Amino acid sequence: MLYMRFCLIFIAFLTVSEAFGQYRWDVGVALGASNYLGEIGGQEQTRRDFLYDMKLNRTQYVFGAFVRYKASPQLAINFGINHGRIRGNDENSLNPARVARNLSFRNDITEFSLRGEFTLFYDNDAGGRGFYNPDFRIFGFLGAAVFHHNPQARYYGELEAFNGEMIDLRPLQTEGVAYNNWEFAVPAGIGVFFTYNKVHRFGWELGYRFTFTDYLDDISAQYVAHPPGSLAAEMAHRTTPEALARAEQLALSQGTEVPNAGSFAPGEKRGDPTNNDGFLFTQFTYSYVLGGKSTFAKRKYRYLKGKKRVRRKTRAKF
């Protein structure tokens, strides 16, 4: 319901924008892939920043829509809505301690962002065909976003009423923390687009979200005690003999320390609270440029349209 309400607001905004469009506005859609950086998954070492610990086999989807306003030749303002999913699984890690920990999650994220797009390179005649068709632009972007998230994990255990179901993790307070479903982020990245026939705009962008939370994956600090046999206890502590066996084999192959079940007791390390989680969206975009040119542009470029000269007819004189 929340996502539908914001979609209605977005459609209303498009309607208003179209009324004022003079090649300054474009509206579009986006589709692509998502990934995340946090405490789950990763390489042999403990958490590493930015892209180094992302697992490509955990890549998910993202789709969205946006309105862009060209404030100047060097700056555009973009308001966007995105909905995507991120996920991770310790089973895919190359770190024996994480494999033994055996945690997993998925999180559906709905993001609302406002960002500035700064032109880095611009060619108004990329194909060498004249008529400013198509033009090509490379831009960097930086902005602010608010997003809703809800980490979940599938339950397999002794509680038959929940077996095989996706469980919301936040209400369980697996680490004794009641973190928020709504959080802030800073989207930053780079993109390109070219405009065909002055109205069809095709592009691609890569953007990372620096967030202000460490609970996208429901993991941050340490294990805490829960009532034995409760759903919270089982979702917080998911180490199994099978996971410990896999971790032992991995540790022996790497010549590293073999984790044990005591490493996952209350008070022991569960995550890394010194770094917040982040996520990445990469998307292909299509947008349609609204309205006609400004009066200035019409005067300056009307000769490019091949407008025929109107000759005045005069009566012949003999």
User: What would the pLDDT profile of 224-252 be if each residue is shown by its tens digit?
Assistant: 999 999 999 999 999 999 999 999 999 99
pLDDT of the residue at 18: 46
Report the sign of the C-alpha dihedral through residues 31, 37, 38, 42, in that order: positive
pLDDT of the residue at 128: 65
User: What would the pLDDT profile of 53-100 be if each residue is shown by its tens digit?
Assistant: 677 888 999 999 999 999 999 999 999 999 999 999 999 888 899 999
pLDDT of the residue at 215: 97
Q: Which helix or strand (DSSP H or E) is residue 150 part of?
A: none
- 209 compared with 294, residue with greater pLDDT: 209
Neighbours of 114 (CB within 10 A): 13
Question: What stretches of the chain adopt beta strand conformation (E)?
Answer: 22-37, 60-72, 75-89, 104-123, 135-148, 151-154, 166-168, 182-196, 200-211, 278-291
pTM to 2 decimals?
Answer: 0.82
pLDDT greater than 50 at residue 316: no
At 15, the amino acid letter reads: T
Helices (H) and strands (E) in the chain, counts: 5, 10
Neighbours of 225 (CB within 10 A): 11
Mean pLDDT of all residues belonging to the chain = 84
Indicate the burial class of 300 (C-beta count within 10 angstroms; 0-12, 13-18, 19 or more): exposed
Paired with 145 in beta bridges are 113, 185
Q: Are 111 and 145 in contact (CB under 8 A)?
A: yes
Indicate the class that CATH gives domain 2-290: mainly beta
pLDDT greater than 70 at residue 131: no
- 314 compared with 88, residue with greater pLDDT: 88
**CA-to-CA distance for 151 and 169, rounded, in angstroms?**
6
